[in-house]
Structure 1
Amino acid sequence: MYEVILYYNFSPVSEPEKFAKQHKKFCKELGLKGRIYVSSEGINGTAGGTKEQIQQYKDHLRSLPGFEDTEFKSDEADYIPFAKLICKVREEIVALHVDGVDPKEGGNHLSPAEWRNVMESGEDYVMIDVRNNYESKIGHFKGALKPDLENFYDFPQWLDEANIPKDKKVLMYCTGGIRCEKFSVLMKDKGWDDVNQLHGGILNYAKEEEGAHFEGKCFVFDDRLVVPVNPKDLAPIAHCEITGKPADTYVNCANMECNKLFVCSEEGAFQMEGCCSEECMKSEYRRPFDPENAFRPFRKWYNYFGEDFKARNEASAATPSKS
């Protein structure tokens, strides 16, 4: 069994390039895989490895000045859902494209229990899903506003046009909490006073409150793509874009020139051989369809359509299970 972590920390980094280079070297020597982004404002990452590797990584990051209080959201997986290790420098660890946003000036953090209590109290509030449309499409809290946006940096304009009363109690959530750290600051700067964010995001809430009042599943940025939140409500709320039937599995179109991420059922994937349209099925740049490997237990279509899918399958098949 392996462990997957999601984390961030807004702690100033004086030399991001140097930090990232040293950090990547450590992770590579440790054997970690994942995606880690560093900027002058801090670090944001998701990674996978054995429990021993992950513990060593946690200890290492927390040993660095300014990162002692880093919080990690953890999950178990039967494989490492990353093809390789990426550690890059970015302008922002989460891109809102608004100057002067200090996460230390953000909203009130509600624990999962406090969040649930507000939802069940009958209190008047507006809840905002601070994620992209393809994320909220397959899972969200009941009653939440779900902006039809493709990028986080589109949220400031959406907020200006949303007509949310300034005297409303605001609840906001995202996958692990990082987007709320910035968006809550923006809302306070624009005049909202009672701004609250779900501490640790959906993933933390799933662990602490078993996903109560959450419908569907949670999109994650690794090869799993989708993870369950509420064990009492696992039914898909989205629909296959090929067959129209309930589905919550995402697929990257097999046409490499398209590569569209879309909701697709097994039936739809077989019908279109992994493509999103008949036009893409005719493409000379289409990845081959391999139905025998496409639905291995616990693996998502995304793994198959990744260019290194076969190499990873062969490697995992040759490695004895550690579960």
Structure 2
Amino acid sequence: MRATPLAPSEWKKRLDSVDVFDVQSDKEDSSVPKKKFMLLDVRNGYEWDIGHFQGAHRPNVDCFRGTSFGFSAEEVVASDPLAGIDKENTDILMYCTGGIRCDVYSTILRQRGFQNLYTLSGGVSNYLNHEGPSKWLGNLFVFDSRLSLPPSTYKSREITEERHNLLYENSTFAKCYICSSRLVEFRHRNCANLDCNKLFLSCGICVEELRGCCCSDCTCAPRLRPVLPGNQRYQKWHLYRDDELQMQS
């Protein structure tokens, strides 16, 4: 049995009615009865990097398929946000971009003994369409040439000073992959090394110094593409290869 889907309005009500907190925290006041919640991001690392719900958790892995959090009943893994929590008395609220991944993953968690599973119906994109950026920090990663969309794309709403401060103070995303400096623009680029092609965030200085690559090793790769200015995307490799051959002839 899969998780219970929550409409965007119900999801927002859940987040507004409780302070989503770390159920593993030692700071929890046991004298105050409170329903335990875990807000779980079921997306890839590069999606999380540019935006997520305030108070959400995800494991420290690049690709969601590479994680096993919630799988182990015996080992407590440091990067596993579900390790050691009460499976019967903790509400697990899961979300992804469109709602499919968390729906599939909920069946796995159900098999692992987690009882109270909920998903965001239609995913983050549906939530932003209906509720705007409430409790959401940053942009939303999308799987097309745009790569990153601000919440205002879905539902226009003025960014308050309080919300701006939350974005600035949040240290869990929107940093340069190379030098860890804070970024102004939440948009990925592909590594100029065709055989790497890693999606990563980079500041302008690192783009220039590493010629559009994600690391110094990639700058020595045999199939390097030119550094793309601004928000351009790479084309097929043969276009760059043919241009280079013409220059050599």
| TM-score higher than 0.5 | yes
Shift of 1:243: 4.1
Cα distance, 1:160–1:267 mapped onto 2, change above 3 Å: same
Alignment partner for residue 175 of structure 2, among 232, 235, 239? 239
Q: 1:258 to 1:153 in 2, by over 3 A?
A: closer
Does the alignment pair 1:228 with 2:153?
no
The structure showing larger relative contact order (alpha-carbon pairs under 8 Å, at least 6 residues apart) is: 2
Deviation per CA, 1:158-216: give whole Å up to 9, x if none: 11242231110110000100011111122223222221100111111111111211111
1:130 paired residue number: 42
How much identity, in percent, do the aligned residues show?
A: 34
* Distance in 2 separating the partners of 1:144 and 1:223: 26
Question: What letter corresponds to residue 241 of structure 1 in structure 2?
Answer: Y
Indicate yes or no: 2:17 matched with 1:121. yes
Equivalent pair of 2:70/2:112 in contact (CA under 8 Å): no
- Tell me which residue corresponds to 1:145: 57
Task: Report the secondary structure of 1:158's partner residue.
Answer: coil
Please state whether the residue corresponding to 2:118 is helix, strand or coil: strand
- Report deviation, 1:276: 1.6
Gaps in structure 2 of 5+ consecutive residues: 19-34, 73-82, 241-249
How far apart are 1:287 and its partner, in Å? 0.7
Partner of 2:197: 259
Distance apart, 1:134 and its partner CA: 1.9
Partners of 1:169 and 1:195 within 8 A in 2: yes
Cα distance in 1 for partners of 2:199, 2:238 equals 16
> Which residue in 1 is equivalent to 2:214?
276
After superposition, where does 1:184-199 map in structure 2 within 5 Å? 184-199=106-121
- Root-mean-square deviation (Å): 2.5
Give the total of aligned pairs. 197
Equivalent positions of 1:65-80 (< 5 A) are none
- Contact 1:139–1:217, Cα closer than 8 Å, also in 2: yes
Which TM-score applies when normalising by structure 1?
A: 0.55
What's the secondary structure of 2:70's corresponding residue?
helix
Counterparts of 1:198-217 in structure 2, within 5 Å, are 198-217=120-139
Structure 1 residues 15-35: Cα deviation after superposition (integer angstroms, max 9, x where no partner)? xxxxxxxxxxxxxxxxxxxxx
User: Which structure shows the bigger proportion of residues in strand conformation?
Assistant: 1
Q: CA deviation at 1:309?
A: 11
Structure 1: runs of 5 or more not aligned: 1-104, 312-323
Stretch moving more, 134-143 or 277-286: 277-286
Match of 2:140 in 1: 218
For residues 39 and 48 of structure 2, what CA distance do their matches in structure 1 show? 13
Following superposition, the deviation at residue 147 of structure 1 comes to 1.5
CA distance in 2, matches of 1:150, 1:240: 15
Equivalent-residue separation in structure 2 for 1:171 and 1:185 (angstroms): 13
Letter in 1 for 2:54: K
CA contact (8 A) 2:210 2:219 kept: yes
Structure 2 CA distance, aligned partners of 1:285 and 1:116?
47
Answer whether contact 2:138 2:150 (CA < 8 A) is retained. Answer: yes
Over residues 277-323 of structure 1, what are the superposed CA-to-partner deviations in whole Å (9 max), with x where a residue is unaligned? Answer: 23322333211235xxx22xxxx35x1x3437989xxxxxxxxxxxx
Contact persistence 2:2–2:110 (CA under 8 A): yes
CA contact (8 A) 1:273 1:289 kept: yes
Task: Give 1:131 deviation, angstroms.
Answer: 0.9
Report the counterpart of residue 307 of structure 1 in structure 2.
236
Local SS of the residue matching 2:90: coil
Q: Displacement of 1:151 after TM fit? A: 3.4
Q: 2:85 aligns with which of 164, 175, 183?
A: 164
Letter in 1 for 2:194: M
In structure 2, give the amino acid aligned to 1:280.
C
Per-residue CA deviation, residues 132-162 of structure 1 (Å, 9 max, x unaligned), is 222212211111111223334344x211242
- Secondary structure of 1:197 counterpart: strand
Counterpart contact for 2:176–2:203, Cα < 8 Å: yes
